[in-house]
Each structure stands twice: as C-alpha cells, then as structure tokens.
Amino acid sequence: MGAWNEGHREDPKPCREQDRGLFEITGRDGRARLGRLHTSHGILETPALLPVINPNIRTIEPREMWDRYGIGALITNSYIIWKHEELKEKATKDGVHALLNFPGMVMTDSGTFQSYIYGDVEVGVEEIVNFQRSIGVDVATMLDVFSRPDMTYDQVDACVMETLQRAEVSVNAAGNTMLNGPIQGGLFRALRSKSAQGMADYDFAIHPIGGIVPVMEQHRYKDYAKIMLATLPYLPSQRPVHMFGCGHPMLFPMSIALGADLFDSAAYALFARDGRLLTPWGTERIESMVDWPMLMPCVASMTPGQVKEMSKEDRTELLARYNLEITLNELNRCKQAIRDGTLWRLVERRSHQHPALREAFLWLSTRPQQAMMKLKMLDDLILNDRDAGRERGAEAGAFEEGWNWLVNAQETPRKGGEPWGGEDTFVRPQIVAARRQLLDHWKPSNIQGRGDDSVLIMHGSPGPWRERLSDIMVRLTHHAPGLEVLILTPVGLIPYSLEDLNPFAHIDGPDWLWRRRPNLPWIRRELTRLGLSERKIVTVDMLGDGIQGRCMTALHNAGVLDGDDDKTASENPIDKERREDAKLKVYRRLVSDKLSVLLNVDHQAAIELLREATFVVNRQGRVKNAITPKGEHIASPRLGDGGLSLTDAGAVALHSLRILNPPAGFETTVPDSTLGAGPAWVVVDDDAEPFVRQGRNVFHGFVVAVDPWIRPAQTCLIVNERGDLIGHGLANSTADEFQGFKKGIAVKTRGGIAQ
Ligand code: GUN
C-alpha cells in the first residue's frame, strides 16, 4: 500500500507470467507475515484490505481508492454483476476492471453470501466460476456453502462436504484464473480442520475463512480466534488467508498475529450510512460526538458538528472516507509492528479495548496451560469415563497443536527490550518459544564435586549481570565446580552462562518486579524442568554492595563451601594460574551452553568441541570469539540478542558432528530423537549450489528437503543433495513453509563454503 496521494497514481505493472498466483513472505513476526501476492494487475502487498465495491452503489470511486488511498485490490460481487443485465453486458464486453474503473487486483465473490442472506441463488457452481473468469477477474471465488454458527454439527458437516464436493469442478472451471477456496465449519473445530485439510488438496490460490460474519456481528471473538487456530495450521502455508467479511480494524492485530493476510471491508461504507465510526477500539456514533476519536486527513478542517449538518449523501461519503482512513491506519500500524517484531504486544494492548476481544485474547494465551493440564488428566479420565476422556483429550490436543503452530514460528532470541505487561508477558508466544528452547535444550554440567547437590539463585535486580557476577563465577567455578548458578528473571530462571540471552536478559519493568520475594514453589518447578530437581537452593540478593562476600557467606552457611574454602571475598584468593583456568571454564560453558540451547548441538558434543578452545575477550570481559586449538575461529556470541553467530569454520565443525541421515523431504513433526542433532539442514538442488557457495541467499524454489526442527531466525546448515556442506545461514521459515513456498528467500546465507 502506497502513501496518501492526492493526484494520479501510475497503473500497476503485471507480475512476471511465471509468478502469477504465487505468494512470498518478505517479513514476519511469528505467524504474522508481510507478503507479496503476484497477479496480472500488480503485486499486492499484504496484509491488505480489499474494500467491498457494490457495483450499483459506489460510495467512493474505485479509481480514487487506487489513486488517493493506495488501495491495491478490491472485492466486488460477481453474482450481482451476473444478475444485472447492464452490468453483465459491460463486464463481459470490457472486463471487470473497466466496469469498476480500477487498475489493481480485482477479486470477486460468488453469491454464497447472498444465498446466506436470501436463502438461495439461481446460479450454477460451474457457471459462476466460468462467468468470473470470462470477465477477467484476478481472483474468483467458488460457490461455497455458508455454515452458520447456530447450525448443528450434522448441518455444518453437510455444508463442509458439499463445499468440498464442488471444489474440483470449480478449480477446473477456473483454469488459470486464481481461485478462492473458502473454509467452512461453523463453530466446530473438527469440521474447520476437516474443511481446511480437504480444501488444501485442490489447487486454490487463496483460502478465505468463511461463515464468520455472524460470529463477528455477535462479537463472539473468542469463537473467531478458535476458528482461526482450528483452521490455519491445516492450510498450505504458501496460500494467503483471507478473513471473509472482516473489515473492522479492531480485529486486525489479533487476526494478523494468527496468520491472516487479507481482509475485506463493506463496514467502512455500511457503518457510514448510519453515522457509525470505526476505531481500533470499537465503533462510535457521530450523534453525540464533539471531537473526533482520531483526527483523520478527510476531516482535518471539520468538526463532527459540521459533518452532522451535511446532506445524508455527503455525510455518508465523508464518513466512509473517515472509516476507510482509520481502517488503513490500523492496518499500517500492524504492518509496522510486524517489521518491529512487536505485533503480539499490539494484540495485547488492543485486547484491553473490548471485553470480547479480551476474552478471546485470554482464551488464546491462557489456554495452553489448561490444555496441557487436561492432557495430563487424560489417563484418569479415560479410566473413569472413556468417552469424556477421549473427547476432552482430543480438544486439548487440537488446541495444543494450534498453539504449537503459533509458538514454533516465533523468532527467538530477538533484539531490544521486552516491556513487562503484567501476567500477559509470560504467555507471549515469543517468550513461550524462548522458554521452551531453554528448557528443552539446556542441561546441567553434572560435574561431580563440591556444590553438585546445590544451586545458587541470584535474584533481586535487573541485568546486565555480567560485571557484577563474573568474578564470583570464576571463584565458584574453582571452589564449587559442581554448583549451578542461575539468575531469577520475571520470565523464568536462566543459567549464568546465558546471562545476556534475550528475552530473559531484556525484561523492561518496574523495580518491584525484580524485588519480589523469590517464590520457592515456582522456582522448584523451574528447577525440575531444568533437570535440577533434587538440589538444595541457596538464594542471594544481587542488590547492594559486597555481593561476592554475601555469596560466599550464604554458600558457607548452607554447607556448600566449608571452612577451608573461600569464605569471604578477601580471604584465601586463588592463585593466578588457577584463576585463569577457572575463567577458561566459565567461557567454555558460556559458548557450549549457547551451542546446545540455540543450535541444538548435543550437550556432550558441545563440551568436546570446546575442550581445548581459547577465547578472545574484550575489555569488558565479554567473550568475542571462540577459537579451536587449530586456531580456527568457530563462533561469536552476539551483542544485541545474546545469540551465537557461527563462522564458516564453525559450520564445518558442526556439519561433521551430524549423526542423523540427511532429511529426505519436508516432514513437519519433530521426533524427540532429534534433540541434540545439531542445527537443521537445508538441502538445495544442484542449480543453487554454486550461488550458495558464493554466499548468496537460498530461494524457496531450490530447496528439496529440510529438517523438521528448522525455525525462522535460527542458524541452519546448507547442504547439497549429497549432504556436502555448501553454506550456513539463518532460516526464514518453518518446515511447513519450506514445504509450500515457491518464491522468496528461504535462508539468509551468512557464509558460503567454497569447494
Ligand atoms: N462473504 C462473507 N462470508 C462468506 C462466505 O462464507 N463465503 C463466501 N463465498 N463469501 C462470504
């Protein structure tokens, strides 16, 4: 979408013939994506709003939508055109773009919505697709069967099955016109998934989510969210998702965060007719309004009072503009939030603006824990009541699948602060992803020796912690080599070795957040998940001076250190040589833990790799480079996000550690046995090999297989079809996206390996 534009805007250029119908991702924030949809009437940037144009009543001229508002695509109704002789004749003769006077992408609907409103339509399934193709639309829609939220399971199932039955003839009739394959299923999760899986088998270009207009009209936003999570994980990820009839900006952030790409709005014009204004927090009436809720360009020099005085027609047009401007504004805000990686925070904020939206948000974000608990209770339920157990288990399982689909697409670690937002912070998908990565991959050192039955938990103060703790770490590594030292953050415990890792190290909140008394039952649960369940807990407050002394005293009092040990900071200093040795151990742990947690390297293998390693450390005591005994620089901790950058030599080293067979296709389920199998491999075809070896990015069309544990923004190794290492980089996609996408960057190559 371009900038506001008073004058003429150039007509779009058609996409390349071979790209027509393809969708590519150019940016992402979890499942939210910035994309480009290639059509004969331009490349549509998504997320996009398609204003609904009623060919009989044009509140704002389509040409003006293009010129002034930078609208790239419209939606109109082919059934209305088909029914009106005059419109039909002109559309058949000159095409739909001329009929509307719009140079961009035109999508048409099929008459399904009319059949929902009026009971039936007279047009045939094949006939309406043929008609849409004949008038030159860019995206046509098949005649699906609308499923209402008040229908029974069997009635909805019939809608889903009938729609599926019509799919093949519709796809054939469309030929090479892009076709919408709407998903039905009412409020039934199983039927939504069934519809998605069934429709995925046909060659549709886009999948609208249908049957949601009454759900939105009744403000059933929780059901709306449920529908999305039951549907999107089962659709081919390379096809854009359109929320049919969703044009209220209030729903944009949540919808986009859950993977929606397209919206259509009749609301801007319909609401304008009876004096209602759309805002990101709900709908407001102009009647009692003295000041505008948001000052938009079209009313910059007018008060609501002046607008109320206008003729009905002029007022409707002006308010339609107002609504359109607000809607585009919120869409742009979402797009920028995707670029900034802050979309979920916008969803969080918006959730406070409408009770039904808050309900939807809480369902989304608090259900994971409940679903897990239900799964755990399943055994009991099956023993007591088989059917109830199965049903609830299936429901919890389905939810978990949807939630995992969301969490697994999160980029972590990220740059920048993570503002505390109350309890909601803990369930941000990105934070959940970071915690899972840590809890699944990190392992205690299991060094037998003093302290191996204890943990030291540092708390009470926000980071950075290194300056305060690095000396203590050296001393403790020497005196209590078995002791694990962890830092308590508001989003969980982290081992000292990961002290700079985002988001744990970057939680931005009030002082009291850090000053809260450590909650021991919670800490125990965290420790259990980290494999430290039986350990004695020693806690030390980091705030204030003399922290070394306080640590030593606390450990002494707890019996971790005894009288011969280093009781206080001043007594019994360790000699220089042993100190250097301990320092080296701290550095090794730092890099080996990052290799395990962030690059999926087996814990023991990471230790072996670094056994004789040395380190370049800057003046602030920060490890810059890890160097093998052969003098090869293999990795560098990253300043911005606490991640670990691999070098070419590091990629070679990790490639040689691989035990598993190379991936053979695009499997998406991750077996437990792949834990510790190293960074995911991306296998590219021979055409791409020379380019990757020169350090060029990998494009989707050239990938022939990937490991299922690949994640966006994570390091991956690029290999040829014989498994030889040809490069390494950061993946742009999840495994399901690797499977589907044919266009766009698949891996941002960081280094090519010459032959
Ligand atoms: N417009 C709003 N909802 C729907 C739907 O379910 N199907 C179609 N074809 N159009 C719609």
Compute, in degrees rounded to 10, the torsion defined by CA atoms 536, 556, 487, 643: -110
Residue 681 lies in a domain: yes
State yes or no: is 500 an active-site residue: no
The closest of 328, 239, 202, 247 to 35, measured between CA atoms, is 239
* Predicted local confidence at residue 573, as pLDDT: 60
| 488 and 545 share one domain | yes
State pLDDT tens for residues 378-433: 444 444 455 555 555 566 666 788 899 999 999 999 999 999 999 899 899 999 99
State pLDDT tens for residues 298-324: 999 999 999 999 999 999 999 999 999
| 602 and 663 share one domain | no
Element (H, E) at 662: none
From ligand 1's centre to the CA of 184, what distance in Å? Answer: 9
Where is the domain boundary, 351, 383, 417?
351
Dist CA 166 CA 195 (whole Å): 12
Query: CB count, 10 Å around CB of 166?
Result: 18
Dist CA 206 CA 379 (whole Å): 40
Residue 679 lies in a domain: yes
Dist CA 25 CA 33 (whole Å): 6
Total domains in the chain come to: 3
Residue type, 495: P
| 629 and 710 share one domain | no
Residue 110 lies in a domain: yes
Pairing state of beta strands 484-489 and 454-459? Answer: parallel
Residue 58: CB partners within 8 Å, gap ≥ 6?
A: none
Give the residue whose CA is nearest to atom 6 of ligand 1.
Answer: 210
The CATH number linked to 73 is 3.20.20.105
Cis peptide before 413, with omega less than 30 degrees from 0?
Answer: yes
Residue 378 lies in a domain: no
The closest of 268, 264, 191, 281 to 230, measured between CA atoms, is 191
| 342 and 305 share one domain | yes
Structure tokens at 449: 């020796």
| 596 and 684 share one domain | no
* Predicted local confidence at residue 570, as pLDDT: 45
Residue type, 111: G
Element (H, E) at 552: helix 547-557
Residue 507 lies in a domain: yes
| 672 and 602 share one domain | no
From ligand 1's centre to the CA of 158, what distance in Å? Answer: 16
| 718 and 614 share one domain | no
* Predicted local confidence at residue 368, as pLDDT: 60
Average pLDDT, the chain: 92
* Predicted local confidence at residue 331, as pLDDT: 98
Residue 235, pLDDT > 90, answer: yes
Residue 399 lies in a domain: no
SS3 689: helix
CB 79, CB 121: distance < 8 Å: yes
State pLDDT tens for residues 447-457: 999 999 999 99
CB 31, CB 259: distance < 8 Å: yes
The domain of 673 spans 659-752
| 676 and 617 share one domain | no
Beta bridge mates, 42:
39
Residue 469: CB partners within 8 Å, gap ≥ 6?
A: 458, 485, 487, 496, 499, 542, 547
Sheet hosting strand 644-646, strand order edge to edge? 614-617, 623-627, 633-637, 644-646
Dist CA 237 CA 259 (whole Å): 9
Given pLDDT bands bounded at 50, 70 and 90, which one contains residue 563?
low
| Its pTM surpasses 0.85 | yes
Given pLDDT bands bounded at 50, 70 and 90, which one contains residue 119?
confident
Residue 276, pLDDT > 80, answer: yes
Residue 359 lies in a domain: no
Residue 711, pLDDT > 50, answer: yes
**In testing the pocket of ligand 1, which one of 204, 244, 263 has its CB within 8 Å of the most ligand atoms?**
244
State pLDDT tens for residues 64-117: 999 999 999 999 999 999 999 999 999 999 999 999 999 999 999 999 988 888
* Predicted local confidence at residue 381, as pLDDT: 44
- Pocket lining for ligand 1, CB < 6 angstroms: 109-110, 112-113, 141, 144, 146, 182, 210-211, 213, 244-245
* Predicted local confidence at residue 382, as pLDDT: 44
Q: Contacts by 628-631 with C-beta closer than 8 Å and gap 24+?
A: 628/653
**In testing the pocket of ligand 1, which one of 213, 216, 242, 265 has its CB within 8 Å of the most ligand atoms?**
213
| 34 and 155 share one domain | yes
Residue 25 lies in a domain: yes
Once rounded to an integer, what is the mean pLDDT over residues 530-535?
Answer: 94
Element (H, E) at 665: none
Higher pLDDT, 399 or 710: 710
Residue type, 582: A
* Predicted local confidence at residue 727, as pLDDT: 98
